[in-house]
Amino acid sequence: MYSVRLEPEPEDFDRVIAELWEHGTAGVTEGHGYLIAFFEDESDARRFAEPQLEPEVDWVRGTEDAWPPLEVGERFFVVAPWRTEPTPPGRFRLEINPGLQCGTGQHPCTRLCLEAMERVIQPGDSVLDVGSGSGILSIAAKLLGASRVIACDIDPEAAKPAPFFVGSVDAVKSYSFDVVVANINEDVIGELHPEFKRVARTAILSGFQDERGEWACVVLKSGE
């Protein structure tokens, strides 16, 4: 078994994790500011960094232990599929596989989006999830009682927990949703800002930092 240690920027963690799984990692553990990925094949590990030979360990258990359940906001309990902990009373069990696509609930921006969604989304709302990645926000919208959830991503391999199309918000007709959610990077948020305002009365936007360098999420109403 071989391991590589990576230190991506915080906003790149989910993307790098998805790339590691795509290229055959046997497991990923996450620390403060770093990732350690394990590979059976040295050449696969070398794609990312200089590999280190690992002693024989129970890496499956190590990987699973690296994704503990998270209580997010007041209503969500985010868990990997293999976790068996019971859902706390009053919370929705939001199950997501951290090895599939960007969006695991571990990143602050994902947590901020979930917290905003539980304040904003009302039963019966229609929701558009732009740049859906793992689909975590689409799943959350359904749990909150949204009657119609549509997901889109420019990556055709994105998870499809809701009706899904390959593309972005510019393909959607005006005022066709109550809420649009997008957890993507700052440049894309800026470029698509007018489109978010066009398609929904409320936009929940994250994936960027504020003037203090802290991860932020904003809720914009029509006209703002």
Q: Mean of the pLDDT values across residues 104-121? A: 90
Count of Cβ atoms closer than 10 Å to residue 55 Cβ: 5
Q: Mean of the pLDDT values across residues 69-89? A: 94
pLDDT at 28 over 70: yes
pLDDT of residue 138: 96
Largest CA distance in the chain: 59
Lowest model confidence (mean pLDDT) among 22-31, 99-108, 215-224: 99-108
Q: Residue 85 and residue 68: Cα distance in Å, rounded? A: 10
Q: How many Cα atoms within 13 Å fall on the side-chain side of residue 50? A: 0
Q: Mean of the pLDDT values across residues 60-86? A: 86
Per DSSP (E only), the strands in the chain are 2-6, 27-31, 34-39, 52-53, 70-72, 76-79, 92-95, 126-130, 148-153, 164-166, 177-183, 200-209, 215-221
Highest mean pLDDT out of 13-17, 25-29, 135-139, 220-224: 135-139
Q: Tell the residue number behind the tokens 């070398």, with chain if given.
A: 46
pLDDT of residue 26: 87
pLDDT of residue 110: 92
pLDDT at 147 over 90: yes
pLDDT at 101 over 60: no
Contacts of 169 (CB under 8 A, 6+ apart): 128, 130, 152, 180, 182, 192, 195, 196, 199
Domain limits, the chain:
2-65, 103-221
Q: Residue 206 and residue 224: Cα distance in Å, rounded? A: 16
Tokens matching residue 189: 């948020």
Q: Mean of the pLDDT values across residues 115-135? A: 96
As a CATH number, domain 2-65 is 3.30.70
C-beta of residue 51 within 8 angstroms of C-beta of residue 2:
yes
Q: Residue 122 and residue 102: Cα distance in Å, rounded? A: 25
Q: Which CATH architecture has domain 103-221?
A: 3-Layer(aba) Sandwich (3.40)
The average confidence (pLDDT) of the chain is: 89
Q: Binning pLDDT at 50, 70 and 90, where does residue 60 land?
A: low
Residue pLDDT, tens place only, 164-193: 999 999 999 999 999 999 999 889 999 999
